[in-house]
């Protein structure tokens, strides 16, 4: 705004001076025509009276120079000066500062150079090139010069009869005054705009920059591993993009904390679960070195073998569980027909044969009605784990029922058994890692307690929900609900 205002004021000053020059040229032509009509060359008194009248009307200085270049007439001799050229040394410092600012602005905008008026030169026609130009061309010639106080002085020379030339001079001090007044107004406006800009900057700093800085500092502290000590601001009252960003970062930090807690708990559970068979294995190995009875050594060897199998099973399940999240995050889901999948898995169980006379029944849904988006291998893992769990809890000769049906916007799969059911206080615990409640008579350590936890993780990764309930007639019913594919 300041630069544009300075350029505008320069063009304003140039236009004002050009208008004054044009007005002075027109006045010089009219005055020259008036002086030339009916006034003899030697009638100096009449010419002087007309020149005085012109000066009184226009405020200009009117001078007439003869063919030899000497001044013949000057209206100032009658009226006195119509304007005064001020000596800068007699003015206060404010005027000197204004002139210094004028020079700086002229240099900044590249204003055209205007010659200085030298008041010490003799008052002759040769001092003013415009007089010679008017005499040579027969037309009005003009010039602009700067007075000692840097106010513009306009000159217009018009040829008269018999080689005489009239010179009109006018000091356009009011142009400089107007420009400086406008410049002062512009500066005040600039100060107001600057103050408004500072207020807006302060407002933006409070509403945008500072909140973003707080979020950046919180994110940096989280990155440095201090997530538990950091409270990410949520800016609940803000409904703009920064508020959304703050809440997203807060939710992300909370999820990160939960993931870290889950990882730490998982690591602790893994250490605990592996420590138990290792302790049993160490005890059995140490006992084998002290026992001489072959039968007792054989029992200890069986314990060693069982513990090794248990450790191997634990490591395999732990490895599977630890890779699950990463694999599902990279997997591209595809349409899966759960009806075809269930039919194929149930067929494989029937081909291999079921233990203890247990029967497996499938309620086959209509073709193409139970399609979901997912990873076929992981969905098949969920079905196998749920069927294996139901078989292990079913009584001899029991029935395991598998079904799938289409809801309004979802697909629901059920696996039901006729075992002892689930205690109400254990309906959520059974989905925790390493939590295991096994049927009576089953050997200890045959399961890692990760199967149902893996099933729930897979179902939730498919935007589904896995739950369990106890049937009215006894037994457990596992329900997996998935969003239906379009």
* Average pLDDT of the chain to the nearest whole number: 82
pLDDT at 356: 84
Q: Is residue 382 part of a domain?
A: yes
Same domain, 12 and 147: yes
Q: Is residue 484 part of a domain?
A: yes
Same domain, 138 and 14: yes
Taking Cα atoms as reference points, which of 410, 411, 430, 435 lies closest to residue 470? 430
Q: Is residue 223 part of a domain?
A: no
Question: Residues 262-297, buried b or exposed e (16+ Cβ, 10 A)?
Answer: eeeebeebbeebeeebeebbeebeeebeeeeeeeee
Q: Cα(407)–Cα(419) distance, rounded to whole angstroms?
A: 27
Same domain, 91 and 104: yes
Residue 413: partners with Cβ closer than 8 Å, 6 or more residues away: 338, 342, 370, 383, 402, 403, 404, 479, 480, 481, 482
480, β-bridge pairs:
413, 466
pLDDT at 448: 57
pLDDT at 169: 92
**What is the number of alpha carbons within 13 Å of residue 363 lying toward its C-beta?**
14
Instruction: Provide the pLDDT confidence category of residue 444 given band limits of 50, 70 and 90.
Output: very low
Residues 314, 276 contacting (CB under 8 angstroms): no
Instruction: Provide the pLDDT confidence category of residue 307 given band limits of 50, 70 and 90.
Output: confident
Q: Which residue has the higher pLDDT, 281 or 412?
A: 412
Same domain, 55 and 92: yes
Same domain, 359 and 472: yes
Mean pLDDT of the region 26-32: 83
Q: Cα(190)–Cα(205) distance, rounded to whole angstroms?
A: 22
Q: Cα(420)–Cα(442) distance, rounded to whole angstroms?
A: 14
Q: Cα(233)–Cα(214) distance, rounded to whole angstroms?
A: 8
Mean pLDDT of the region 461-473: 87
Same domain, 301 and 337: no
Pairing state of beta strands 359-363 and 399-406? Answer: parallel
pLDDT at 52: 63
Same domain, 372 and 274: no
Taking Cα atoms as reference points, which of 50, 54, 48, 53 lies closest to residue 74? 48
Percent of the chain with pLDDT over 90: 15
Name the domain count of the chain.
Answer: 3
Predicted confidence (pLDDT) per residue in 71-105, tens digit: 988 888 877 888 888 888 888 888 888 888 888 88
Is 362 a residue whose pLDDT tops 70? yes
- Tokens read off for 170: 């006018």
Instruction: Supply the DSSP string of 333-349, one letter for each residue.
Output: PEEEEHHHHHHHHHHHH
Residues 64, 165 contacting (CB under 8 angstroms): yes
Domain boundary residue, one of 301, 330, 359: 330
314: CATH: 1.10.287.130
Same domain, 263 and 335: no
pLDDT at 40: 47
Mean pLDDT of the region 222-244: 78
467: CATH: 3.30.565.10
Is 438 a residue whose pLDDT tops 60? no
Same domain, 40 and 125: yes
Same domain, 304 and 403: no
Q: Is residue 66 part of a domain?
A: yes
Instruction: Provide the pLDDT confidence category of residue 434 given band limits of 50, 70 and 90.
Output: low
Predicted confidence (pLDDT) per residue in 273-287, tens digit: 677 677 777 877 777
Domain boundary residue, one of 281, 304, 330: 330
Q: Cα(206)–Cα(299) distance, rounded to whole angstroms?
A: 76
Q: Cα(41)–Cα(482) distance, rounded to whole angstroms?
A: 117
Angle at CA of residue 171, ends 167 and 177, nearest 5°: 160
pLDDT at 445: 46
Mean pLDDT of the region 312-340: 76
- Which residue, chain included where needed, has tokens 């513009």? 152
Is 354 a residue whose pLDDT tops 90? no
- Which residue, chain included where needed, has tokens 């006992």? 287
112: CATH: 3.30.450.20
pLDDT at 140: 93
Residues 446, 438 contacting (CB under 8 angstroms): yes
Q: Which residue has the higher pLDDT, 255 or 415?
A: 415
Residues 158, 24 contacting (CB under 8 angstroms): no
Q: Cα(322)–Cα(331) distance, rounded to whole angstroms?
A: 15
Percent of the chain with pLDDT over 70: 87
Q: Is residue 467 part of a domain?
A: yes
Is 152 a residue whose pLDDT tops 90? yes
- pTM (predicted TM-score): 0.48
Helix residue spans in 138-240 (DSSP H): 173-204, 210-223
Same domain, 24 and 124: yes
Same domain, 152 and 7: yes
Q: Is residue 203 part of a domain?
A: no
pLDDT at 412: 92
Q: Is residue 280 part of a domain?
A: yes
Domain boundary residue, one of 185, 206, 240: 185
Question: What is the 3-state composition of the chain as percent helix, strand, coil, each rounded to the nearest 5?
Answer: 60, 15, 25
For residue 273, what are the domain limits? 231-330
Q: Is residue 180 part of a domain?
A: yes
Residues 451, 380 contacting (CB under 8 angstroms): no
């Amino acid at each position: 705004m300041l630069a544009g205002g300075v350029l505008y004021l320069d063009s304003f000053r140039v236009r004002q001076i050009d208008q004054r020059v044009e007005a002075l040229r027109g006045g010089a032509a009219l005055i020259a025509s008036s002086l030339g009509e009916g006034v003899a060359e030697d009638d100096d008194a009449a010419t002087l009276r007309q020149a005085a009248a012109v000066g009184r009307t226009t405020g200009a200085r009117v001078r007439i120079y003869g063919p030899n270049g000497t001044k013949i007439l000057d209206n100032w001799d009658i009226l006195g000066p119509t304007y005064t050229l001020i000596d800068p040394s007699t003015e206060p410092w404010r005027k000197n500062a204004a002139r210094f600012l004028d020079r700086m602005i002229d240099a900044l905008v590249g204003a055209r150079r205007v010659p200085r008026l030298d008041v010490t030169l003799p008052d002759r026609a040769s001092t003013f090139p415009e007089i010679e130009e008017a005499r040579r061309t027969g037309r009005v010639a003009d010039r602009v010069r700067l007075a000692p106080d840097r106010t513009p002085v306009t000159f217009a020379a018009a040829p008269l009869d018999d080689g005489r030339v009239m010179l009109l001079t006018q000091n356009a001090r009011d142009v400089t005054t107007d420009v400086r007044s406008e410049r002062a107004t512009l500066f005040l406006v600039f100060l107001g705009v600057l103050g408004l800009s500072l207020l807006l900057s302060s407002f933006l700093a409070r509403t945008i920059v500072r909140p973003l800085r707080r979020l950046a500092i919180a994110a940096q502290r989280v990155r440095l591993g201090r997530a538990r000590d950091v409270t990410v601001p949520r800016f609940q009252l803000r409904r703009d993009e920064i508020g959304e960003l703050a809440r997203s970062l807060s939710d992300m930090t909370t999820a990160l904390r939960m993931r870290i807690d889950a990882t730490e708990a998982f690591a602790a559970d893994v250490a605990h679960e592996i420590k138990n068979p290792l302790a049993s294995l160490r005890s059995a190995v140490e006992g084998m070195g002290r026992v001489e009875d072959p039968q007792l050594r054989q029992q200890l060897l069986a314990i060693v073998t069982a513990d090794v199998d248990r450790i191997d099973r634990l490591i395999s399940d732990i490895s599977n569980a630890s890779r699950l999240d990463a694999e599902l995050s990279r997997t591209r889901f595809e349409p899966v027909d759960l009806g075809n999948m269930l039919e194929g898995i149930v067929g494989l169980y029937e081909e291999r044969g079921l233990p203890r006379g247990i029967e497996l029944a499938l309620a086959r849904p209509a073709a193409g009605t139970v399609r979901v988006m997912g990873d076929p291998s992981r969905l098949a893992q969920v079905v196998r784990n749920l069927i294996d769990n139901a078989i292990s809890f079913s009584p001899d000769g029991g029935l395991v029922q598998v079904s799938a049906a289409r809801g309004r916007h979802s697909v629901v799969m059920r696996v039901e058994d006729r075992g002892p059911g689930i205690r109400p206080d254990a309906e959520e615990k059974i989905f925790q890692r390493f939590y295991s409640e096994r049927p009576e008579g089953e050997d200890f350590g045959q399961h890692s307690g990760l199967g149902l936890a893996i099933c729930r993780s897979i179902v939730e990764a498919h935007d589904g929900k896995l739950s369990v309930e106890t049937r009215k007639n006894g037994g457990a019913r596992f329900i997996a609900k998935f969003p239906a594919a379009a």
